[in-house]
Amino acid sequence: MTEFFRPSGRAPAQLRGIHITRRYTKHAEGSVLVECGDTKVICTASVAEKVPFHVKGSGAGWLTAEYGMLPRATHTRGDREAARGKQSGRTQEIQRLIGRSLRAAVDLAKLGERTIHIDCDVIQADGGTRTASITGAWVAVHDAVEWLIKEGRLPETVMRDHVAAVSVGIYKGVPVLDLDYAEDSDCDTDMNVVMTGSDGIIEVQGTAEGEPFSRTELDDLLDLAQAGIEQLIHEQRQALQS
């Protein structure tokens, strides 16, 4: 493996540089710019004092997410989904994943009849936008919950645990952590993993792009992901100090 080089020059188990900026925009209750290498996502958490129909009357709250990409976040300009009049299947899949992942981070029963709306908007894309969105959105949700406590609307935190996400894949036969765009485009297997601060698994989504993968490869990928997520959660903790 001495001759193995990732396009990024990183070691197989090496994350990209991550930077989390809190209070990035001024209106949202939680607002974060998350940067994973060249991938940059604005994650906001907005509090609304109402809940969707399906939880109304239950006393519990709700959390939902939307995801978008600026048309020129990518190498070539993509269609603006608002202009085309509908969100792609990919967009819907991603925002459903973000919502599920963050609902696992919050004790909705104690949130009260209110909704936290997460918006993840990619302003620059270089692979891993959905996992960066989850990692950043966790901080935005945390800040929105802190705001609710400061406002006297919640007696104590409703955050159950950290939640962060990373992608892993098999690149030229080698399991690698945190794929950037160049690696992702040329990858046999791509897996997104979402985990908690106590090594609980929230979501595993692995897809063989070309050849099927084996149980052994799956195990290697999960090991890499777990180590990466531990570092990401460390970054989240650092950001909360700021």
CB–CB of 106/160 below 8 Å? yes
DSSP summary character for residue 186: T
Q: Is residue 153 part of an annotated ligand binding site?
A: no
- What does the alpha-carbon distance between residue 16 and residue 228 come to, in Å, rounded to a whole number? 10
Contacts with a copy of itself, residue ranges (CB under 8 A): 25-28, 31, 38, 40, 42, 44, 46, 48, 66, 68, 70-77, 80-83, 85-87, 89-93, 95-96, 100, 104, 117, 119, 121, 123-125, 191, 195-196, 198-208, 211-215, 218, 222, 226
Q: Are 14 and 85 in contact (CB under 8 A)?
A: no
10 in a labelled binding site: no
Beta carbon nearer to a copy of itself, 73 or 239: 73
Task: Return d(Cα 6, Cα 172) in angstroms, integer.
Answer: 9
Q: C-beta of 43: minimal distance to a copy of itself in Å? A: 10
17 has binding-site annotation: no
- Which one, 89 or 152, has the nearer CB to a copy of itself? 89
Residue 19 beta carbon to a copy of itself: minimum distance, rounded to whole angstroms: 15
Strand order in the sheet with 18-22: 18-22, 30-36, 39-48, 115-124, 62-69
Report in angstroms the alpha-carbon separations of 241 from 21, 106, 208.
Answer: 11, 20, 39
Do 36 and 154 meet the contact criterion of CB atoms below 8 Å apart?
A: no
Of 151 and 199, the one with the shorter C-beta distance to a copy of itself is 199
Is 128 flagged in the annotation as binding?
A: yes
CB of 100 to a copy of itself, least distance (A): 6
Least Å from the CB of residue 227 to a copy of itself: 13
Return binding residues for phosphate.
90, 128-130
